[in-house]
Amino acid sequence: MKTAELSGAALDWAVAKCEGKSHIVNAPHKYFYSPSTDWKIGGEIMEREGIDCIFHPGVTAHWTAMNVDYNVEFPAPTLLEAAMRMYVYMKLGDEVEIPKELKSEKTIVGMEVGRCTFCGYICEWEEIPTAGDPTCSDGTVQCCPECNEGESFDRYVLAERKR
């Protein structure tokens, strides 16, 4: 997915990846790490990374984010969204591989997902790849496609999104 088109859950997931954090926060209740809407998180990243934003008034008012070390600008409807796109670009580049469940925010609630405890990879619970293992009772184990760890997935039901 183009970094310039990231928004919502997909953008938050990409920022979590940049920060080495989990997109799903587990305590005290499960909720989503949301730097693109939460000023405490997003503002802190902006300050640390030297991301600047300019407001463009007009009919389709929007914000543009920039950083002196990079020759690109990222426009977005909100300041935090623009800034987080800039940050993802600085860390991951022009394009980011996003788990397909996260591309549309609408499909998230109620979905069962697995998250690899080793590398943070997220996919739909039913779609976690398996590998043959004769020592296992049913002959297969879950196998993470990112880091190749076996049986490394925690199961989550995505129930709410904290704002």
- Choice from 51, 66, 96, 116 touching Zn ion (CB under 5 A): 116
Considering only the stretches 5-13, 35-43, 46-54, 108-116, report the one whose residues sit in contact with Zn ion under the rule CB under 5 A.
Answer: 108-116
Residue 38 or 149 having the CB closest to Zn ion: 149
Q: Does 121 bind Zn ion (CB under 5 A)?
A: yes
- Say which amino acid occupies 104: S
Phi, psi torsion values for 95, nearest 5 degrees: -140, 140
The CB-of-94 to Zn ion minimum distance in angstroms stands at: 24
| Structural tokens at position 46 | 């902006």
Q: Whole-angstrom Cα distance, residue 35 to residue 21?
A: 11
Contact present, 86 and 45 (Cβ < 8 Å): no
Q: Does 119 bind Zn ion (CB under 5 A)?
A: yes
Tell which positions 77-106 bind Zn ion, by CB under 5 A: none
The CB-of-59 to Zn ion minimum distance in angstroms stands at: 46
Q: Whole-angstrom Cα distance, residue 37 to residue 8?
A: 8
Considering only the stretches 63-71, 90-98, 117-125, 128-136, report the one whose residues sit in contact with Zn ion under the rule CB under 5 A.
Answer: 117-125
DSSP H helices, the chain, are 8-19, 39-49, 79-92
Q: Does 141 bind Zn ion (CB under 5 A)?
A: no
Residues that bind Zn ion (CB under 5 A): 116, 118-119, 121, 144, 146-147
